[in-house]
Amino acid sequence: MAGNSSKVFEAMGHGALDAVATPVFDFSGNATGAGELIAKINSLKRLIHGKSYFKPVIAKRAARTGFPLIAIGSSTGGPKALGTILSLLPENFNAALVIIQHVDQRFAAELATWLNKQTPLSVSIAVQGQSPAASNVYLAGTNDHLIIDRYGRFAYVAEPKEYPYRPSVDTFFYSLLDNWGAKDAAVLLTGMGKDGADGLSRLKESGWMTIAQDEKSSIVFGMPKAAIELNAAVKVLDPERIAGELINLYAKKGI
């Protein structure tokens, strides 16, 4: 995987749904890794055909940190859009970015490394118990759901177990509503299904700046379309303009 990571994420950026190690056959004809491939196929079936399971996290809000948090959800085609946005942000960008990309945990660390090469900001996997910091980018790193807990720190939770998207954009967005003591910005990028649409709608209703990727630049116009149909996006933009909007938005706040 390490030697092929760039090809894997380029493929995902152009429409590949996910990545999985190829099963290997021994001399007896037994396959190693076939179970993982079957599980991945079943997971994708649930993603495409499954129902939405919304389960907001309920807890007390954390104290305001003094810098904004930008939440980004993405799926099919996401790596390419993420790379474009991150490459345009300046090194001294005084905000924390948290990315929920639908990707198996086996590839999350490689994705963080791949994105890190495309931006002056520091990209890493979000660690349990860690507090986000400005000028840093954090990527959900397991097949559990990343959330912000009541203390304003990262946490991974198994619930909702039956949700077809893991990690879930909606689950992270809900945790911001309950636990982040500010109204900042949330972005929903290209992807299959509708994960993140309901959460983006609720964030907009609470006063957050919400942005969805436009149809023309989306590899799969599923998640952004679902958000737009809910009137969840304040603005609908391509990745280049999303980056510019984020810079302009926080420049107006004196950041």
Convert the pLDDT of each residue in 172-201 to its tens digit.
999 999 999 899 999 999 999 999 999 999
| Average pLDDT for runs of 10 along the chain of length 255 | 56 56 56 57 54 48 74 97 97 94 95 97 98 97 97 97 92 97 96 97 98 98 98 98 94 56
Q: For the stretch 99-124, what's the b/e string if a residue is b when 16 or more beta carbons lie within 10 angstroms of its beta carbon?
A: bbbbbbeebbbbbbbbbbebbebebb
Contact assessment for residue 238 and residue 213, using Cβ atoms and an 8 Å cutoff:
yes
pLDDT for the residue numbered 58: 46
Contact in structure between 152 and 179 (CB atoms under 8 Å): yes
CB-CB contact of 116 with 86 (8 Å)? no
pLDDT tens readout for residues 140-152? 999 999 999 999 9
Say what the pLDDT of residue 76 is. Answer: 96
Q: Please give the positions annotated as active site.
A: 75, 102, 195
- In this prediction the pTM is 0.80
| Separation CA 73–CA 195 (nearest Å) | 8
Pick the CATH number of 69-252 from 3.40.50.180, 3.30.360.10, 3.40.1180.10, 1.25.40.10: 3.40.50.180
